[in-house]
Amino acid sequence: MTTTDGGLVRIIMLAPKRRVEMAVPEHVPVVGLLPTLLRHGGPTLAEDGVERGGWVLRRLDGSALEPDRSMAALGVHDGEMLVLAPRDQEWPEPAYDDVAEAIAATAQRLGARWNAQATRATGLAAAGVALALGLLLVWVTPADKHIAGYAALATAVVLLGAAAFLSRTAAADRATAVLLAGFGTLYAAVGGAAAPALRPLADGITAWQVVSGAAALVCAGIAGRFAVTGHGRYSIAAVVFAVGGGAMGFLATVQETATAGAAAIVGGALAMSLFALPRLAMNQGGVPAPPIPSLTGAEEPMPVAAQLSQAVQRSDELLAGLLLGIGACIALSVWLLVLTPSTGATYLAAAIVALCALRARAFAAVRHRVPLLCAAAAGAAALGWLGWTGVAAADRPVALIPALAVVLVVAGAVAAAGSRVSRRAPSPHFGRAGDIADTLVTIAVPILVALVLGLFGVMRGIWES
pLDDT in tens, 177-216: 888 888 999 999 988 888 876 566 666 677 788 888 889 9
CA atoms of 58 and 72, how far apart (whole Å): 15
298 membership: H or E segment, kind and range: none
pLDDT value, residue 103: 77
206 membership: H or E segment, kind and range: none
Nearest to 108 by CA among 100, 98, 116: 100
pLDDT tens digits, one per residue of 258-302? 788 888 999 999 999 988 898 898 888 888 877 776 666 666 677
pLDDT value, residue 96: 65
Q: Please answer whether residues 200 and 143 qualify as being in contact, where contact means their C-beta atoms are separated by less than 8 angstroms.
A: yes
pLDDT value, residue 210: 85
CA atoms of 200 and 189, how far apart (whole Å): 15
Structural domains of the chain sorted by starting position, each given as residue range(s) with its CATH number in brackets: 8-86 (3.10.20.90)
Distance of CA 120 to the CA centre of its chain: 23
Model pTM above 0.75: no
Is residue 412 scored above 80 in pLDDT? yes
Q: What percent of the chain has pLDDT over 70?
A: 89
pLDDT value, residue 297: 62
Q: Please answer whether residues 83 and 58 qualify as being in contact, where contact means their C-beta atoms are separated by less than 8 angstroms.
A: yes
